[in-house]
Amino acid sequence: MIKEIYSYGDTYDTKAAKSEEADGALLADGFEEALLGFGHQFNYPVAVYSRSRCMDILMKRDKMSSEEATEYFDFNIVGAWVGESTPIFLDDEFDMNETV
């Protein structure tokens, strides 16, 4: 049985998730603490999450190693396309100096 990982914006009891910007955005269940805010792709609202916070949640909550959390996150969370309002995950540890 595949665990449902996305739900519509009425799930979180936070100010951001109940805002008008969130109306119609899909939220990643279990990652409330990683929610940064909302953005838009064309006319669709999207939830924006911190990748590093999501990884921390997987390692602490689910007791995964860094490698296990990365594999699970990349395949099951980021890799799950559920339509135009699929959340996006900000690589908040990206270093511009490393690409030069």
What's the length of the chain?
100
Q: State the pLDDT confidence band at 42, using cuts at 50, 70 and 90.
A: confident
Q: 71: domain range? A: 6-92
Longest CA–CA span in the chain (Å) reads 44
Task: Compute the mean pLDDT over every residue in the chain, rounded to the nearest whole number.
Answer: 81
For residue 27, give the H/E element and its range: strand 26-28
Backbone angle region of 74, left / alpha / beta, with phi > 0 → left and psi within -120 to 50 → alpha: alpha
| Domain count along the chain | 1
For residue 89, give the H/E element and its range: strand 88-90
Per the structure block, which two tokens stand in for 71?
Answer: 């594999």
pLDDT at 72: 96
Calpha distance 25→17 (Å, rounded): 9
